[in-house]
Chain A
Amino acid sequence: MAKRIDVSGLTAYYSAHKAIEDISMTVEPRSVTAFIGPSGCGKSTFLRTLNRMHEVTPGGRVEGKVLLDDEDLYANGVDPVNVRRTIGMVFQRPNPFPTMSIFDNVAAGLKLNGQYKKSELNNVVEKSLKGANLWNEVKDRLNKPGSGLSGGQQQRLCIARAIAVEPQVLLMDEPCSALDPISTLAIEDLIGELKERFTIVIVTHNMQQAARVSDRTAFFNLSAVGQPGRLIEIDDTERIFSNPSVQATEDYISGRFG
């Protein structure tokens, strides 16, 4: 199920502005990789290049290679729609579809793509909601609108929606930054369970969160405002937080930054 991602020499632009430069890394399957770094260093941009969401922004374009098990996402003839079905994404702010019920939100990926059997739909929704640890809270109100849930529940609904299409990789862009500590804990537990099945990449501003949930951590930085962001180092989380090889990483993690 889970696939490995190999990035080599990736540079991303917003029109003429170079947002990230020359990033190479490997994301291991069935593991959690965390991206940390100061605001504006291109973590989210880099995350969005991994499922070709970057080019949705007007003026967004990419140079370099992203290999998903030896298949280049940016090769000619690759359909970004297929890429996004393989590599799912959870956003910073919970964004359930306001016109749809909880059930339809989870089923949205399948329904909107028109590739589903009615009989399977119930199973998929139940499995996904259970996978997102939300089933017990919403099983009696599946037909109620998703926007009536609390923020933490909405975010888990979005995770259920993302895993319902059975992606290989799950990208999470600061999934807990809008949530309270209890909901955050629920989602961190969930990430721990999901990594059995998916390759997970998570962007976070919360150092403790990166240390708690991830197996590997990548530190991004930018040399000055307006300069493109770069990957400083990527290593096992334990090593990054105890004995990083670059001084800047240690400064950032210990709060002696800037």
Chain B
Amino acid sequence: MSNVVMDKRPSTLQGARLPRWTPWAVALGSVGAGLGISAAAGLDSKIQWALIAALLFVLVNYALGVKVEGSRQAKDRVATSLVWVAFLLAVIPLASLIWETISRGVKVLDGYFLSHSMGVVADTEPGGGINHAIIGTLEQVGLATVMAVPVGVLTAIYLVEYGRGRLAKSVTFFVDVMTGIPSIVAGLFILAIMLQLELQPFGFAGSLALAILMMPVVVRSTEEMLKLIPNELREASLALGVPKWRTIIKVVLPTSLGGITTGVMLAVARIAGETAPVLLLVWGSAFINNNPFEGAQASLPLYIYQQYANSAGNAAAYDRAWAAALTLIIIVMILNLAARGIARWKAPKTGR
């Protein structure tokens, strides 16, 4: 049968396809065309040629798709191109932010900078360091986390495992309201108490405000994670004669630990960058203060703000602000990686 000539009828299942490299070629062409058009029209803004290129990319992809493949595949190509454009729009600011911070931050970032405070160095002079601000940030954020995480996780457990009826509904409502509190308002709230009690600024006051900001974030994320735990697991444990509270501690929480950790880390990252409440309640200081319960303290975001505000265009202060920003990003990243490590180590195990 091998000498039978194959019938060359067109297949009903195969359609014409553009080659795989088409999107890349279109992207390259669009960028080239975008640059060319801008140069020809005398547009000097980078944003303009990028926009022209993005628009061309989507349109050319669609046109090619319609011509060669038909309208359904063309729509698919448009959707894919839009996703790529959106991805680039999201990545470009992130990449440029990291690049700027690193390239400007590394100038003064060294062992001396990390291990010394500003002390008597004036903001306009070179020298000094951020040791006092690192200590302040770690202590204030640490204390806020210690206060907010237990309250937040317990609230979420109540809402998911026990809460029924009006109390649970009102708790949910107030958590939502709390999520929307601007940080300066949380700061003013604690400030009002401080003025009533005639207290001087100190680190723990800042922690209290940060804890207020952190709590609703922890509640919300933990709640979502606990809701993901299938009821069958709870029932399996209850049917073994395990009391409900032990079921929650030994079965529900370990199973959702990874998600809860991620939520807590997001909340930590959020409050680690807060400036306003720290400005109001902790004041900032150029000296090392290890005691968060007495005396003004510094913190990294506040230090960045003050260096920038007090520098009057001075290069030394500017460099210090960038180096402190880089340090803050690194600290949050290290905490994040550590938490992810713990979560992965404890996470539900798959595989054989």
Contacts and interface: CB of A to CB of B under 8 A. Distances in A.
Interface of A: 51, 53, 56, 58, 81-86, 88-89, 91, 93, 95-99, 101, 108-109, 111-113, 141, 144-145, 147-149, 158, 161-162, 165
A112 B240 contact: yes
Interface string B218-248: 0000000000001011111111111100110
B178 to A, nearest CB: 26
Residue in B241, B242, B243 with the greatest tally of chain A CB atoms within 10 Å: B241
13 contacts: A53-B239, A81-B241, A98-B348, A99-B346, A99-B347, A99-B349, A108-B237, A112-B242, A144-B352, A145-B350, A148-B349, A165-B240, A165-B241
B240 A93 contact: no
Contact of B236 (A95, A99, A145): A95
B182 interface: no
Contacts of B242: 81, 108-109, 112-113
Contact of A99 (B232, B238, B254): B254
B344 interface: no
Given A99-B254, A145-B348, A147-B350, A51 B239 contact: yes
Chain B interface, >50% SS class: helix
A216 to B, nearest CB: 23
B250 interface: yes
A51 B238 CA distance: 10
Interface in B34-77: none
B164 interface: yes
B233 A109 contact: no
B155 to A, nearest CB: 19
A149 B164 CA distance: 37
A119 B121 CA distance: 66
Contacts of B280: none
Contacts of A51: 239
Contacts of A81: 241-243
Given A53-B235, A99-B254, A148-B350, A85 B164 contact: no
Nearest to A141: B352
Contacts of A98: 233, 255, 348-350
Nearest to B351: A148
A162 B349 CA distance: 22
B339 interface: no
Nearest to B254: A99
B240 A99 contact: no
In order of increasing CB-CB distance, the 8 nearest A-B pairs are: A85-B241, A98-B348, A145-B349, A89-B239, A148-B352, A109-B240, A84-B241, A95-B232
A97 B235 contact: no
A83 B239 CA distance: 9
Contacts of B255: 97-99
Nearest to B251: A97
Interface residues of B, number: 27
A98 B349 CA distance: 6
A53 B238 contact: yes
Contacts of A141: 352
Contacts of A158: 236
A177 to B, nearest CB: 14
Nearest to A112: B242
Interface of B: 164, 230, 232-243, 246-247, 250-251, 254-255, 346-352
Nearest to B240: A109
B232 A91 contact: yes
A148 B348 CA distance: 11
A89 B250 CA distance: 19
B194 to A, nearest CB: 44
A53 B231 CA distance: 12
Contacts of A99: 251, 254-255, 346-349
Nearest to A158: B236
B251 A82 contact: no
A101 B346 CA distance: 12
A165 B241 CA distance: 9
Contacts of B237: 97, 108, 112
Contacts of A108: 237, 240, 242
B239 A84 contact: yes
B348 A161 contact: no
Given A84-B240, A162-B239, 9 more contacts: A81-B241, A84-B241, A91-B235, A91-B239, A95-B235, A99-B347, A111-B250, A112-B240, A113-B246
A29 B349 CA distance: 39
Given A53-B235, A93-B232, A112-B250, A88 B240 contact: yes
B182 to A, nearest CB: 37
A10 B235 CA distance: 22
Nearest to B243: A81
B233 A112 contact: no
Contacts of A88: 239-241
Contacts of B346: 99
Contacts of B349: 98-99, 101, 144-145, 147-148
A165 to B, nearest CB: 6
B16 to A, nearest CB: 44
A98 B352 CA distance: 12
B352 to A, nearest CB: 4
